[in-house]
Structure 1
């Protein structure tokens, strides 16, 4: 068992985009990465189902005595986080939609948010939009569930033409040249950012995975719990709740060599 890791979880590969950002900015920290593939995708779950999954996952991860737990998925972060954040002895960090930064970078006052259907359709998301985005800013919502599925399945690695064509179809149906900034409201989307940038080269993208990694570092600094040993490299441990064989093949293709532990019987 890793010593006091940062625990990071979502329904699969999305967490990995957060893990990558954490390894850049807090390289000495141990990281426990839990891919809850048993419950993929979070984006089509009811709020009640999501709450149950979050409670179960966090209770499970607390057994590893982490410094904190990162809810590395935008869907439960938007819908569930506020309800459960005080239910645990361990601090929980959510993956917020990076709205402030997206708004501040827009010169055309027209932005888009790419996210799962579950996030975009939730009353919590729409309340957030009304609360945090000024009325003079136009917001387009882009259902990116199909793109998220392409990432989770590994198609973005193994079938690049199909991935490019599908992303182009979704982008061209929803985004025009009046938009100048897009928030990537799913931790799966950074893996296909290069595809999206090729289609929309003049648009700026805000990555929620990078933003939550900054939140983690700030929290650890604030609590005095940040590992400052520049000579040590943190270890990575990977857990998966289902479909280990396919998940492992994707990670190996991506160059990730750590042992992957199947925890399906513990969930």
Structure 2
């Protein structure tokens, strides 16, 4: 029987050892995080939410972002999530602290791994933080870069924030699945960075969409190191996973996909993206 719009689906059940983790953002980008968690913790139940009713996050103010991500987090908890991953860099950088204060479950976010990148490149080399404009232009990102540079013991001036909205759009539209539509924009993006910053040595892919383009980045710039913010989240999530002796109680890696929708961004549109990517999942429409 097909659930009605707004009716909660039969979500992955919590077990004696651990509840499902909810993973969400406003679009298809967060599925990369779903894949990372499934690979690292194959027996972990996951509720994957595409909050299309709030898409695109990049068009929202910080206050609007906080309202949206709070609503999504609370919705995932109602569906049974015992922890939540906000799989979007922009709200993670700008409002994660306030979200964590409101939530009654652990909430992890994805932030540019600036310290890791600075520590991996030569002294004086430049690290670019690529992401959505709402994050790149925020004061919060400046504070994050300063803190990360301090942690790495180096000059924050070596870190260059750069808008990558056009590349993010390639993923969200599905255009990235056609190689010839990706090669030019990614190459031009990297070359523009090199012209302005000849000592470019690393790029943090600080939008959950950008890791989908990692292979093309590596092809056009094999000498530039790429850093995925999801790596740190996977490490942090390990602390929330049941200990090995209790792992046998886990149900076994069920994935439940839910989505919100709007007149502009419909469930059919999202299903078409999923089908194009060959993910083999069918989202249930809900309201939050």
**TM-score if structure 2 supplies the norm length?**
0.85
Asked if the contact 1:111/1:137 (under 8 Å) is kept, the reply is no
Residues of 2 paired with 1:205 and 1:218: CA distance? Answer: 25
Report the counterpart of residue 163 of structure 2 in structure 1.
Answer: 143
| Cα drift, residue 124 of structure 1 | 0.6
Mapping for residues 1-267 of structure 1, pairs under 5 Å = 1-3=11-13, 4-108=19-123, 109-133=125-149, 134-135=154-155, 138-157=158-177, 159-175=178-194, 177-220=198-241, 224=243, 228-229=247-248, 233-242=252-261, 243-263=266-286, 266-267=287-288
Q: Tell me, which stretches of 5 or more residues in structure 1 are unaligned?
A: none
| Cα drift, residue 188 of structure 1 | 0.8
Asked if the contact 1:85/1:92 (under 8 Å) is kept, the reply is yes
Residues of 2 paired with 1:232 and 1:61: CA distance? Answer: 18
Q: Tell me, which stretches of 5 or more residues in structure 2 are unaligned?
A: 1-10, 14-18
Asked if the contact 2:146/2:156 (under 8 Å) is kept, the reply is no
| Cα drift, residue 254 of structure 1 | 2.2
1:140 match: secondary structure: strand
C-alpha spacing 1:211/1:67, structure 2 compared with 1 (3 Å): same
| Cα drift, residue 139 of structure 1 | 1.4
| Cα drift, residue 255 of structure 1 | 2.4
Asked if the contact 1:11/1:39 (under 8 Å) is kept, the reply is yes
Query: Would you identify which runs of 4 or more consecutive aligned residues in structure 1 move more than 3 Å?
Result: 224-227, 229-233
| Cα drift, residue 246 of structure 1 | 2.3
Residues of 2 paired with 1:237 and 1:225: CA distance? Answer: 24
Q: How many residues align?
A: 262
2:192 match: secondary structure: helix
| 1:50-74 Cα distance to aligned partner (Å, 9 max, x none) | 1111111111111012120001111
| 1:214-244 Cα distance to aligned partner (Å, 9 max, x none) | 21112335xx599623997401111111222
| Cα drift, residue 113 of structure 1 | 0.8
Which has the greater radius of gyration?
2
Residues of 2 paired with 1:54 and 1:85: CA distance? Answer: 10
C-alpha spacing 1:80/1:226, structure 2 compared with 1 (3 Å): farther
C-alpha spacing 1:227/1:170, structure 2 compared with 1 (3 Å): farther
Report the counterpart of residue 5 of structure 2 in structure 1.
Answer: none
Residues of 1 paired with 2:191 and 2:250: CA distance? Answer: 47
Asked if the contact 2:44/2:250 (under 8 Å) is kept, the reply is no
Asked if the contact 1:77/1:96 (under 8 Å) is kept, the reply is yes
Q: What's the Cα RMSD here?
A: 2.1
Q: Which moved more, 1:57-66 or 1:171-180?
A: 171-180
Residues of 2 paired with 1:137 and 1:199: CA distance? Answer: 25
